[in-house]
Amino acid sequence: MQHPFILISPTYDQPRGGFTPKPVQEFLDKHAPYMVGVIGAGNRSFGDKFCMGAHEIAKRYNVPVLYRIEIMGLQQDYEAIDRGVKQHWGTLLNMKGLA
């Protein structure tokens, strides 16, 4: 992958102590330079760990958490994400030097 992208990642409590699923980490090991932001998907029953995988990814790769959704999200979440991406895509590309 050599195109800018926004990652949508779930959060799982991993035995290794992290919250980023292993397949997601393997993908990022190869493609992270093109990631401009991350959206977290999670379950509010995780309490303060809600969407923690997205926060781990954001910190590790110096990208913003753009949005957090509960499980699969709602139509209003999809619309908010769509509006946000359309409004801020150029800024996200500039932040990563990909414009």
Residue-wise pLDDT for 70-79, tens only, equals 988 999 999 9
Q: Looking at residue 15, what is its pLDDT?
A: 57
pLDDT classification of 2: cutoffs 50, 70, 90: confident
- Looking at residue 11, its pLDDT comes to 83
> Model confidence over 36-71: pLDDT tens digits?
999 999 888 888 888 899 999 999 999 999 999 998
Round to whole Å and give the CA distance between 49 and 42: 9
pTM of the model: 0.89
Angle at 83 between CA 26 and CA 88, to 5 degrees: 65
Going along the chain from its start, the domains and CATH numbers come out as 5-82 (3.40.50.360)
Mean pLDDT of 13-29: 80
CA pair distance 19, 53, nearest whole angstrom: 5
Token pair for residue 26? Answer: 């393997």
Say if residue 97's pLDDT is above 80.
yes
